[in-house]
Chains A and B, each alone.
Chain A
Amino acid sequence: MPWYLYLALKQLFPSGRKFPFFTVISMLGVALGVMLLVVATSVMGGFGYQIRQMIVDTQGEVQLRDRGFIEDVGALQKKVAQVPGVVATTPFAEGVVMLQCDRKPAFPVIQGVDLDSVTKVIPLDRYIRVGNLSDLDDDSIILSSKLALSIGARIGSKVEVYSPLLLERMKNDEVLLPRQLTVVGIFEIGHQQLDSSVVLVTLRLMQDLYGLGHAVHGVNVKIAEGADPDRVAGAINRSMGAQSTVQAKSWIDANEDFLFVLQLEKNMIFFLLTFIIIVAAFSVMSSLLISVVRKTREIGLLGALGGKPRHVAACFCFQGFLIGLGGTVGGLAMGFGALALRNDAIRIFTQLTGSEEVLARFYQFSQLPSHPVRGDIIMIIVCSIVISTLAGLIPAWRAARLKPVEALRSE
């Protein structure tokens, strides 16, 4: 090993010393910055990932909609099925209804799903907590968990559904009774808003409630594993022809603004937390500068022994690099450790502060999500090591400028 690397290692980890205090403290500063970056970007990534997953799980990867209704959905589905990359399609209709159970009203979004094809596109059965999707028929309904709780409904409860069609009929002095439906299932997606304001019925019942006839509001499309949603959506639009008013949009396209905000938030957090590493780097620089002053005569000795100024500089730069490397490795370990224990920590914290409900209500998730992205982690590693190495540059420059004669004379 060249002398300057050897000496850098020895100055950080002196022989015969069990606990290199200066080195550990310097590394700890970097490690804390790296840990915070790993935790923050992973949690932000987790929020983003869960939201993306939820969008795909509830809407499919590509969605087709017309300006009004899609009348001949069968023909449309056949046409779309032939587009490369399309695996399955399912029609849907949606709207808002008033729902009442034991005089407790609610105004949920109602989704009409085609029982024959919905599970090929949307993994609804994965989210059914009580009951079964196969029990759903034209006289029954599946409620979201928090909605069921708020109106006191359970499996077997009867709920009354008032659709906007009732109001239309009332204008013509017609009396239309609300539909009475039996609760056959309760689902929970894990998103506060969806879990408190969505109900599922069969597509036929929804068409009946809204007077749609055989028309639907749209078609959800599942695409092949690894296929690009934007490309498949483009291919579907081309297959529709220029005259068609039906338009396919990928989930990315449909939620472009939202995804942009998510990415922006994540980038801002990364940018702000990078300052912690910069502050740690300043403390590393300060420690190394003190080291240069303390070791002035040793630096002079190295020059007298024949050491070149650039090698003296490399010795201090390498110390900055090693502190960065050690701090980064420690920070990664601490960060992933904190992520592994995050839900236990949050549970204890919310129990102590009595804020479990608040967390779920404001952050939409019952658990703190985490989704570390390889690119983010690599960026953190590179930033941390580069910044720490740069912190060694000024001390290295000072050390390299020392003239051996003057350094040896210094008191």
Chain B
Amino acid sequence: MSNTPIISARGLTKSFLSGDRRIEVLRGVDLEVAAGESVSIRGESGSGKSTLLNLLSGLDAPDTGTLAWAGAPVEADRRAAFLGIVFQSFYLIPEIDALANVLMASRIIQVPGAAERARAKELIARVGLQERATHLPAQLSGGERQRVAVARALMNSPKLILADEPTGNLDEHTGDAVIDLLLGLCRETGTALVLVTHNAAHAAKCARGLRLRDGRFV
């Protein structure tokens, strides 16, 4: 395995205008995540966790600082294959069933073939939704939806998964199950994980824990 970190951020800053005021959300964040490593980020609401995740995923650009994915510059075209994202609100496409939602991650890169379909089915089975594969998101519970979202994030065998409070909309028991599943799958597949969470118990399950306060790691 190469020593190049999967993700490397140096001196990331980000501010937003709120009326006439400029609010500095991130004030020079440094972060390196190694291949297969799981990192938790905790912090109070407004501490900049989601903003940091948006920068790490390349969905937003930092004001200053540098960011590299596996040593290479961040490019939107690489995102689909390089990383998977799990959101707090699941964001499944309501018009298509669970299996098609998982396959959607692959479909965005290329028209799926038999191998991709087989992988989607395998992932659906792996998250325990074999019987629910043809169900629409509206027919699934919150926990089941998040498991579909986890399978979708893993569909393209990414190097990194960014999970933004994935248990925020779930009850404690279901949340625990989802985190165990996510960590287990990442371990199995050697996928690095950056987990943003409020939950100390979930954060403790990761190999490394970070705390963000006022836009800096403390």
Which residues 1-54 of A sit at the B interface, judged by CB distance below 8 A?
A: 1-3, 6-7, 10-11, 14-16
Q: A residues engaging B (CB < 8 A)?
A: 1-3, 6-7, 10-11, 14-16, 297-298, 300-308, 404-405, 408
The segment from B21-29, B54-62, B165-173 that touches chain A is B54-62
**Apart from the given pairs A10-B93, A10-B100, 12 other A-B contacts in the complex at a CB distance below 8 Å:** A10-B95, A15-B96, A297-B89, A298-B93, A298-B94, A301-B87, A301-B93, A302-B108, A303-B59, A304-B57, A307-B108, A405-B59
Q: Residue A11 contacts which of B95, B105, B111, B136 (CB distance < 8 angstroms)?
A: B95
Contact, CB under 8 Å: A1 / B111:
yes
Q: Does B216 contact A (CB under 8 A)?
A: no
Q: Does B109 contact A (CB under 8 A)?
A: yes
CB-CB < 8 A to B81: which residues of A?
306
Q: Which of B95, B96, B100 has the most CB of A within 10 A?
A: B95
Residue of A nearest to B138 (CB): A16
Contact with A along B79-96 (1 / 0, CB 8 A): 111000101010101111
CB-CB < 8 A to A300: which residues of B?
91
* Main DSSP-derived SS at the B contact region: loop
Q: Does B124 contact A (CB under 8 A)?
A: no
Contact, CB under 8 Å: A16 / B104:
no
> Number of contact residues on B: which range applies?
20 to 34
Contact, CB under 8 Å: B97 / A6:
no
Contact, CB under 8 Å: B105 / A305:
yes
| Contacts A/B (CB < 8 Å), 16 sampled | A2-B111, A7-B95, A10-B95, A10-B96, A10-B100, A14-B94, A14-B95, A297-B91, A298-B93, A298-B94, A300-B91, A301-B87, A305-B104, A305-B108, A306-B80, A306-B108
CB-CB < 8 A to B108: which residues of A?
3, 302, 305-307
Known: A305-B105, A408-B87. A15 touches B136 (CB 8 A): yes
Q: Report A4 CB to chain B, min CB distance, Å.
A: 9
Contact, CB under 8 Å: A405 / B54:
yes
Contact, CB under 8 Å: A15 / B107:
no
When chains A and B are docked, how far (Å) is the Cα of A173 from the Cα of B94? 101
CB-CB < 8 A to A408: which residues of B?
59, 87, 91
Contact, CB under 8 Å: A7 / B93:
yes
Q: Does B76 contact A (CB under 8 A)?
A: yes
Q: Report A145 CB to chain B, min CB distance, Å.
A: 63
